[in-house]
Amino acid sequence: MIMYNPPHPGDIIREFCIEALDLSVTDAAKSLGVTRKTFSSLLNGRSGISPEMALRLSKVFGRSPEGWLKLQLQYDLWKAQQKTDLKSLKRIKAA
């Protein structure tokens, strides 16, 4: 099921991981084994959750890697639906 206007995963990470655990971005980045710049880019919506980052987030904050990737997929799909015009496309029927 596609969520209506889902938040960027970075917003979820900021609220439920960083703020809830009272962590600094620097400390969280160190725990994840990434640079502060890389993690900040995710938190600020300039990048998304890659499979590698999903593994890291899962290990450090919990939730399955698939769960983290699902957040990203819902966000990406919603954004694509907003800018993709499918009106002229038709299903191919079997002969």
CA 9, 14, 18, 21 torsion-angle sign: negative
Q: Residue 21 and residue 57: Cα distance in Å, rounded?
A: 14
| pTM, entire model | 0.89
Q: Residue 33 and residue 14: Cα distance in Å, rounded?
A: 17
Domains of the chain: 9-82 (1.10.260.40)
- 31 pLDDT exceeds 80? yes
- 3 pLDDT exceeds 90? no
| Residue 20 parent element (H or E) | none
